[in-house]
């Protein structure tokens, strides 16, 4: 029987691939993104709805549109929408820091709250939160992003326990490196505010390398989507799912290596050892 699957952040990358994968499987997909025009390529096979996950007004409008479309239940909610505020934490603009947590942490929880009555109407409801392997080992110049994903992982753990009595299963997905526009978006964001006055101007290349790190030998988004669809179609999906390049090796390395050695290796990888007084 076709399921009703609502996915956020479907304009590109993982969200776009997931929308196509679930639609091809025969599910009823509600694909969302901030700009409806960015979903045009999905409109033949998906129902598309404009949604700014950080806006209470937009979330309320989503509920109204679902009712108008006759959607009385949601079987799978995939909280995928996210942004990355890259750069040194000490210089990160306040609005970017707030926006990072508002989009990646607060919004998934508030959307889950808003859709909970519809999830309860499903016979087998799933809430799937797309975290990141970056939320396991923290890396320089991605501190805000890493922290936001770590926070989402913790909230998912809490929701998993709290919603179990109501029959709602909460799943955390920690992708590794997945092909998308993520790196370019992160790099352009840094370009907008990291100037010659920065304490880190001398290692700009290291900062940009971190911004683009997720796109080095990355797993194709379609392959990721196919693998996740397979996992979610099992009778008992795992509570934690890791898919993509580095999704298993990075947490293992972070767990096994001494923390001081990990910091030294990451500092060298992203050029921090080139700053004066850093060795």
Whichever domain contains 16, its CATH number is 3.40.50.720
Whether residue 22 lies inside any domain: the answer is: yes
Q: What is the pLDDT of residue 201?
A: 87
Say what the pLDDT of residue 159 is: 99
pLDDT of residue 189: 74
268 in any annotated domain: no
Residue 36 lies in a domain: yes
**276 found inside a domain:** no
Residue 270, in any domain of the structure: no
Helices 221-232 & 13-24 angle (0-180, nearest 10)? 50
Predicted confidence at residue 277, as pLDDT, reads 63
Q: Catalytic: 200?
A: no
Which segments in the chain show pLDDT lower than 70?
277-279
**CA–CA separation, 197 and 250 (whole Å):** 33
- 171 forms beta bridges with 128
Q: Write out pLDDT tens, residues 179-228.
A: 987 777 777 777 777 777 889 988 888 888 888 887 888 999 999 999 99
Residue 278 lies inside a defined structural domain of this protein: no
List, as own/partner pairs, every contact residues 263-271 make where C-beta atoms lie below 8 angstroms and the sequence separation is at least 24, other chains included: 266/137, 266/139, 266/140, 267/140, 269/206, 269/209, 270/139, 270/140, 270/141, 270/203, 270/206, 270/207, 270/209, 270/210, 271/203, 271/205, 271/206, 271/207, 271/209
Q: Is residue 162 part of a domain?
A: yes
Residues 44/56, Cβ–Cβ less than 8 Å: no
Catalytic residue among 22, 141, 145, 200: 145
Could you read off the pLDDT of 135-154 as tens digits, one per residue?
A: 998 999 999 999 999 999 99
Range of the structural domain that residue 58 is part of: 4-253
The answer to whether position 84 is within a domain reads yes
pTM of the model: 0.94
Number of independent structural domains in the chain: 1
User: What per-residue confidence (pLDDT) applies to 113?
Assistant: 99
């Amino acid at each position: 029987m076709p399921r009703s699957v609502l996915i956020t952040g479907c304009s590109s990358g993982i969200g776009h691939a997931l929308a196509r994968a679930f639609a091809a499987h025969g599910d009823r997909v509600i694909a969302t993104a901030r700009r409806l025009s960015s979903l045009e390529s999905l409109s033949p096979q998906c129902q598309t709805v404009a949604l700014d996950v950080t806006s209470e007004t937009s979330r309320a409008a989503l509920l109204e549109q679902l009712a108008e479309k006759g959607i009385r239940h949601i079987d799978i909610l995939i909280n995928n929408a996210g942004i990355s505020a890259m750069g040194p934490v000490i210089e990160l603009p306040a609005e970017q820091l707030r926006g990072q947590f508002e989009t990646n942490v607060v919004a998934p929880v508030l959307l889950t709250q808003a859709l909970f009555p519809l999830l309860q109407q499903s016979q087998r409801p799933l809430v799937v939160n797309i975290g990141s392997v970056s939320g396991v080992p923290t890396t320089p110049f991605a501190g805000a992003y890493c922290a936001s994903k770590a926070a989402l992982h913790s909230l998912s753990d809490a929701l998993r326990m709290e919603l179990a009595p109501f029959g709602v299963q909460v799943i955390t997905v920690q992708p590794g490196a997945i092909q998308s526009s993520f790196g370019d978006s992160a790099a352009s964001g840094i370009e907008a505010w990291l100037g010659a006055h920065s304490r880190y101007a001398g290692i700009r290349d290291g900062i940009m390398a971190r911004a683009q790190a997720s796109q080095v030998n990355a797993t194709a988004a379609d392959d990721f989507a196919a693998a996740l669809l397979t996992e979610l179609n099992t009778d008992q999906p795992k509570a934690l799912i890791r898919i993509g390049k580095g999704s298993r090796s990075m947490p293992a390395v972070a767990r096994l290596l001494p923390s001081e050695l990990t910091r030294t290796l990451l500092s060298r990888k992203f050029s921090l050892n080139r700053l004066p007084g850093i060795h």
